[in-house]
Structure 1
Amino acid sequence: MAQTFNVVGWFEIPVTDMPRAIRFYESVLGYTLHYQPVGEEEMAWFPWSDEGSGAPGSLVKHDKHYTPSTEGTLVYFSSPSGDLANELARVEQAGGKVLQDKTLIAEDIGFMALFLDTEGNRVALHSRG
């Protein structure tokens, strides 16, 4: 029998201003990020656990290899509060922009929303309620 696992093992969100990006994500999601310089890169890790679902990840600043974008891969954050409307309400006051309000995907899947972070990345939120 094949082992089941989440196919995403790690994600990285490009940033150009690490302190600003940390403030934004901490304000919107309510987490404390762990700042860690790694060689030529600056990273700020989102909290993670070895148990449960989802993939760990970080903000990353590296002038040569990382460029924020509204195109391409889309990262979905699970709503820490259980209702993404709570986190979405903090996006604009934290310096971002709501691109798509809370929208029902399907009854058995839940809701999603899109926002632009302070660095110019398109990011999504998901919740069941």
Structure 2
Amino acid sequence: MSSVNPVGWFEIPVVDLERACAFYQQVFLLQFERMQMGPSDMAMFPYDHQANGAAGALVKEAGYEPSSSGTLVYFVADDVASTLERVKAAGGKVVLPKTAIGEHGFIGHFTDSEGNKVGLHSMQ
């Protein structure tokens, strides 16, 4: 395992992949690449194999259950507050408003269209 940025992939479970794609597209202003991998119906977040950080996908598959507890994925945001506004506009719920974490910037949490709790982080 790499000792620097060790997370290489994440999957966010969804019940309704179309609804989840629409939600995340509105919140993060991005487009997904859809694909089928075995039993998994997936929507891949944009990624660059040459850049640091983890890539991931929304995944609909038997046995995958959205959750508001357990592992928490944080997305990098230009500004937590404006991203949380888009969360509300997309039908999500703000769980933790923009909160200062000292020299490490700001965080916020929200619940997505599927019931997953997700985090945001920014330096401003």
Task: Tell me, yes or no, whether TM beats 0.5.
Answer: yes
Which of the pair is proportionally richer in helix?
Answer: 2
The one-letter code of the counterpart of 1:11 is F
1:128 equivalent in alignment to 2:116: no
> d(CA) in 2 for partners of 1:105 and 1:52?
26
Counting aligned pairs with the same residue, the percent is: 48
2:110 paired with 1:112? no
- Tell me the equivalent position of 1:36: 35
Give distance in 1, aligned partners of 2:94 and 2:20.
16
Q: CA deviation at 1:4?
A: 5.0
CA distance in 1, matches of 2:97, 2:56: 24
**Residue identity matched to 1:112:** I
Q: Distance in 2 between matches of 1:4 and 1:40?
A: 32
Distance 2:88 2:82 in 1: 12
Q: How far apart are the structure 1 equivalents of 2:68 and 2:57?
A: 18
Structure 1: state its 5+ residue gaps.
none
Deviations along 1:20-51, one digit per CA (max 9) or x if unpaired, are 00000010011111111222210000011123
Displacement of 1:78: 0.2
- Could you say what secondary structure the match of 1:120 adopts? coil
* Cα distance in 2 between the residues matched to 1:13 and 1:22: 11
Structure 2 residue runs without a partner (length 5+): none
